[in-house]
Amino acid sequence: MGFKNIIVWLLKSIITLIAVSIIFSSTSSDFDKILSESFKDIYTFASPASKEKTLEFLEKGCGSVEDENAVTANEICSNQTLMNSFKASCEEYRNLKEQGKTVKNEQEMEETCSKVESGELERECQKLRSAKVSVDTEAIQNNCRDYKAGKLKGEQFFSNMLTSSFGGVQNIDNPLFQKYNRFIQFMKNNIFTLVIIIAAVFILLYFLERDLAAFLVEVSKICFGIAMTILAPYIIIIAYNAFIGIDTTPVLESVLSGQLSFTSDAIISVVMLMILKTYNSMILNTGIALLIVGIAGKIFVLVRKRKSQQNTGYR
């Protein structure tokens, strides 16, 4: 490979990288929607037994928030006066029990006081403080009511409950998501500059080729490369699901057990589902259109080569 060919390859790689980044960044404004749809898929691709257990777990959680007068853990943890009031109520409850007196809502008081006295409530508060997440209690209450009224299906209920628990992707304290947000912000702030860079690289590529036909061939190769970069992951994931199958059962079981330790297969399944959700009709249509241009360019090269060989044979 000569020096010129190396430069041409580098220029084509730059165009492909920037173009693909711009195309996929077009879905960034809908990332909360992508995340919500991925949660639905995590539920959908799990086993029926794990789905049932998950719904039972969520319905049980609804019991603690469906009463509008109920005090949530978030409210208790953010209000020391309220926490002290709970402790005082538990002391009074224990005194009444020792005196053999009947206590109203005894089972509920016993459960609450056990949490307070064992330190479990304090540990929950510590987790809430360290999580840096604002739980939307009102949204959770609405989700519970809508699900019980039959307005929500299982996957929508599961997705809504998760998104209501942390708000949106901006609240996820994860280095990967933070890097993603910074990258998308960079793309949005520099889209005009990136388009100019692509145009400048195309011009430089033209001057290197010094021939319009050769330049168009290189453009078609770039189009084909961009198309394959876009479409290949989508096709591979669809084929994987068709022949092997995506299974998110371990994800649900891990969440229910409170131990967020996923197997490699479970992580692969979640990643594939999220990648699928980044594709929309615009991205797929763009990929198909570029693929057609790339194939047309390859056909043009073959026809041109055959004609050249025929002309050489006639001589």
Q: Are residues 297 and 204 in the same domain?
A: yes
Q: How far from the centroid of its chain's Cα atoms is residue 42's Cα? A: 11
Same domain, 225 and 300: yes
Residue 270 inside a domain? The answer is yes
Q: What amino acid is encoded at 111 in this protein?
A: E
User: What pLDDT digit, counting tens, does each position of 91-145 carry?
Assistant: 887 888 887 777 777 777 788 788 877 877 777 777 665 554 455 667 777 888 8
First to last CA, the chain: 30
Does this model's pTM top 0.75? My answer is: no
pLDDT in tens, 25-34: 876 556 667 7
Please choose, from the candidates 192, 153, 151, 144, the residue with its C-alpha nearest in 3D space to the C-alpha of residue 43. Answer: 153
Chain-centre distance for alpha carbon 295? 33
Last residue of a domain, one of 134, 161, 187: 134
**Radius of gyration of the CA atoms of the chain, in A:** 29
Residue 33, classed as helix, strand or coil, is: helix
Q: Could you say which of 116, 134, 152 is where a domain stops?
A: 134
Number of domains the chain contains: 2
78, pLDDT greater than 50:
yes
Q: For the beta carbon of residue 146, count every other beta carbon within 10 angstroms.
A: 14
**Do residue 96 and residue 236 come from a single domain?**
no
In this structure, what token pair is assigned to residue 132?
């840096």
Domain assignment of residue 122, given as a range: 73-134
Rounded distance, CA 41 to CA 49, Å? Answer: 16
In this structure, the answer to whether residues 90 and 12 fall within a common structural domain is no
User: How many other C-beta atoms lie within 10 A of the C-beta of residue 18?
Assistant: 17
